[in-house]
């Protein structure tokens, strides 16, 4: 059981950072915001900014190396979500999508198919634009993840 889960944010292009800060402050949880470029974060003792070197997967590697059982990871990156699940962390997408051991295989497969199609020259549609309803789903999913982590059932 992790009595004080941490929240890690894969911050590059994350549209819900402000929501993470509010929830974390409400529950008194530390937040680590990881990016490969300078980002403004609120000046608060619970919020830490980690700037990693530029490069593919550098921020992901840092998060995967530092997140542990019961921690919460906010990311849209499916391979990172898989790595976090492997150590018992709870990955949540910015739209409120909860990645689980049961769902990650299909998510990885879908991502792989998309990459294969694009490598063959096919045009695939990008992500759906972020909407207010996504923000609401995210807040609900984050709140549920905090409660799961506090109960020790990630």
Q: Specify the CATH number for the domain of residue 70.
A: 3.40.50
Distance CA 50, CA 42 (A): 13
Instruction: Specify if 1 maps to a domain.
Output: no
Residue pair 143/23 in contact by the 8 Å Cβ criterion: yes
Residue 154 lies in a domain: no
Range name among 43-47, 115-119, 135-139 with the lowest pLDDT average: 115-119
CA dihedral sign, ordered 69, 67, 47, 97: negative
Q: 12: closest CA among 45, 66, 55, 71?
A: 55
pLDDT in tens, 33-81: 999 999 999 999 999 999 999 988 899 999 999 999 999 999 989 899 9
Q: Residue 56 has what pLDDT?
A: 84
% of the chain surpassing 90 pLDDT: 65
State the Cα angle at 65 between 64 and 69, rounded to 5°.
70
In a domain, 18, yes or no: yes
pTM of the predicted model, to two decimals? Answer: 0.83
* Burial class, 147, CB count within 10 angstroms (exposed 0-12 / middle 13-18 / buried 19+): exposed
Any domain includes 2:
no
pLDDT at residue 106 above 60? no
**Domain extent for 29:** 7-149
- As for how many domains the chain has, the answer is 1
Look at residue 1 in the predicted model and tell me its pLDDT. Answer: 44
User: Residue 123 gets which letter from DSSP?
Assistant: -
């Amino acid at each position: 059981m992790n009595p004080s889960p941490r929240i890690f944010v894969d911050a590059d292009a994350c549209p819900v950072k402000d929501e993470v800060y509010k929830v974390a402050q409400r529950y008194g949880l530390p937040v680590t915001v990881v990016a490969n470029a300078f980002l403004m974060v609120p000046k608060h003792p619970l919020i830490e900014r980690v700037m990693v070197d530029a490069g593919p997967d550098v921020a992901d590697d840092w998060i995967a190396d530092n997140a542990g059982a019961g921690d919460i990871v906010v990311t849209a990156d499916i391979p990172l979500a898989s790595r976090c699940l492997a150590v018992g962390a709870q990955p949540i997408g910015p739209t409120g999508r909860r990645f689980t051991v049961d769902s990650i295989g299909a998510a990885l497969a879908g991502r792989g198919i998309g990459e294969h199609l694009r490598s063959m020259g096919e045009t695939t549609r990008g992500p759906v634009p972020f909407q207010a309803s996504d923000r609401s789903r995210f807040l609900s999913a984050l709140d549920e993840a905090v409660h799961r982590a506090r109960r020790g059932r990630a």
